[in-house]
Amino acid sequence: MEQCGVLTEFKGIAVQDCWASYWNYPGIQHAVCCAHLLRELTGINENQPEQKWASAFIDLLLEMKKVKEKAVENGKDSLSYYYHHKFDKKYDDLIEQARKENPIPETTEKKRGRKKKGKILALVERLANYKASVCLFIHNFMVPFDNNQAERDLRMIKVKTKVSGCFRTEEGARDYLKIMSYVGTAHKQGYNAYEAIKNALSGHPDFIFE
């Protein structure tokens, strides 16, 4: 991550999957990708249906997403106090329920270090510790519910690498990334990819950033 030089220079809001190393960058405001959380919660719900809090937490995240989308459709840039209070309380209640259903196991052996929590309790503690980052998307409407768009942008590079095996030169890889980054930016801003490339070749590439 240090060699790539992206996170070391990044100063915005990073929507990430809660990998521990990401939190080592204090200059970044963090948001947790809720799609990753939904996958973990769905796995718990399917494999251990007695964990009632997991399905309730799925419903909470989806309700938060739905309410935000409705507010955006209505031209709003924030949720009402009613919804913030409702979601905040429900979140805390479910964390408390999850902790009751998954107490830290007691061990008679004297071992050094922290007690092993297991995957479920580790997720519960992650949801509790990073609540502000999980819920950031309903407090700041510029923050998406997930980072799926970023993963879609990267998937094309992985596909090309798998098909070709590799890039023949580092220079070729850099050229490819510059072109696809430019075309991707044009597409996101509603410009035709062909027109964007034509303008770039004619010496007027900055039109998409106006």
User: Taking the CB of residue 123, how many other CB atoms lie within 10 A of it?
Assistant: 21
Percent share of the chain, pLDDT over 90: 49
Report whether 2 contacts 8 (CB < 8 A): yes
Higher pLDDT, 45 or 187: 45
The pLDDT assigned to 170 comes to: 83
Higher pLDDT, 15 or 197: 15
Q: Please state, in angstroms and rounded to a whole number, the distance separating the CA atoms of residues 132 and 113.
A: 28
